[in-house]
Every structure is written in structure tokens, then in C-alpha cells.
């Protein structure tokens, strides 16, 4: 088994979910459209969309690593001209299918597995007039943004230097100093 791929941004998570669902359709659960988007434009039904909709950053320490906590929303859309009962008969199994596919799944990425946090029926009156039902399923995950190796070498502040020069054309040095941090001790202890 190969090592998980380092997550560098939320689009990687969206893409991995899209690929899993698009390639994982089984005969009982076929989505005619699988896409990455937040708002529905024109899309074929039944459909599946995914979007990372919010995130929070938490710097870990002086290493430059930053934890990113991400909220991911999957939107499911079905259309059935018969009635709402038939649309609900279609969409509730879809919700269960998506939760089973995604909950606890790290998608082969170096991140915390997706955790389902709930679902909402977001069908509006406009959707009902078009014989559509829309449900959103919410997931959470967390991954660590890590600085590139070249960046790490200059992240640790070792010293600060300053030079003060005169405003005369010769720019004579008036004062100069440097503080080297590993040599500074707290003398008040």
C-alpha cells in the first residue's frame, strides 16, 4: 500500500471525492452527473456535487505547520415529475449511499478521515415547481499544511541585525548591532 498523498489544498479533497463517486457508481446507485461546484447551475439529475465550503486555520507551532479544519458539503439532486413522495423515495437511499462511501474515508490523502455531521433538505419552492428535491450532506475533515523543505531552513529566526546611518551623502554608520537568539539568556531568573 502506498503512502497517502500530502494534501496541499481543498481542491484535492473535492477532486478525490468526485473521482470516488464518479468511478464507484454501482448499478443500484448511478449519478448521471458528478461535479465540483457549490451552487447548482444546469445539471442532469440524479446528480452529485461536492464543495469545500469553509475552513479554519490553526498554526501548530514555530514549525510553520498549519492545521486546516474543513467543512465539505455534498449536494444531491433528483427530479421526478410524479410527486414529492417519489423524489424522497429516490433521494433518501442516495443519502445513505454517499454517507457509507465517504464517512471514515481518508480518500488516500494525508488527512483525517471524513466525518459526517448531518444532512438537510434544502429544497426551495422554486425547486419544487421544477419537480426537484435537493439534499445537502455535511462532512468535516482536517489536514496539515506543511511548508516546503526549502522554506523550513529560513523559518527559524536565529538573529536580528540593524545598522543606523547618517543622512549625509557619506552615509556614515552611527550605530550597529546584532542580537543572536541562542546566546541570549534571561538574567532575571
Would you write out the chain's pLDDT as a tens digit for each of its 189 residues? 678 899 999 999 999 999 999 887 676 777 888 888 876 655 667 888 999 999 999 998 877 899 999 999 999 999 888 888 988 998 999 999 999 999 999 999 999 999 999 999 999 999 888 888 999 999 999 999 988 765 555 556 667 777 777 778 777 887 887 777 665 455 554
3 state SS for 64-129: CCEEEEEEEEEEEEEECCCCHHHHHHHHHHHHHHHHHHHCCCCCCEEECCCEEEEEEECCCHHHHH
What confidence score (pLDDT) does residue 14 get? 96
Domains and CATH numbers, the chain: 5-149 (3.30.2000.10), 150-183 (no CATH)
pTM: 0.76
pLDDT in tens, 2-33: 788 999 999 999 999 999 998 876 767 778 88
The CA distances from residue 49 to 75, 81, 118, 129, 158, in Å, are 5, 22, 16, 21, 48
pLDDT in tens, 74-93: 999 998 888 889 889 989 99
Amino acid at each position: 500500500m502506498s503512502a497517502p498523498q500530502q494534501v496541499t489544498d481543498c481542491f484535492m479533497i473535492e477532486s478525490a471525492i468526485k473521482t470516488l463517486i464518479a468511478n464507484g457508481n454501482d448499478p443500484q446507485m448511478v449519478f448521471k452527473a458528478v461535479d465540483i461546484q457549490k451552487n447548482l447551475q444546469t445539471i442532469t439529475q440524479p446528480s452529485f456535487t461536492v464543495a469545500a465550503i469553509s475552513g479554519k486555520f490553526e498554526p501548530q507551532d514555530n514549525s510553520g505547520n498549519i492545521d486546516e479544519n474543513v467543512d465539505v458539503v455534498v449536494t444531491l439532486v433528483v427530479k421526478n415529475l410524479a410527486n414529492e413522495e417519489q423524489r424522497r423515495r429516490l433521494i433518501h437511499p442516495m443519502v445513505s449511499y454517499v454517507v457509507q462511501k465517504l464517512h471514515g474515508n481518508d480518500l488516500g490523502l494525508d488527512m483525517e478521515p471524513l466525518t459526517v455531521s448531518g444532512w438537510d433538505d434544502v429544497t426551495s419552492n422554486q425547486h419544487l415547481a421544477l419537480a426537484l428535491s435537493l439534499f445537502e450532506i455535511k462532512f468535516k475533515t482536517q489536514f496539515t499544511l506543511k511548508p516546503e523543505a526549502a522554506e523550513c531552513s529560513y523559518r527559524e529566526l536565529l538573529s536580528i541585525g540593524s545598522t543606523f546611518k547618517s543622512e549625509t551623502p557619506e552615509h556614515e554608520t552611527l550605530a550597529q548591532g546584532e542580537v543572536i537568539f541562542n546566546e541570549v539568556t534571561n538574567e532575571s531568573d
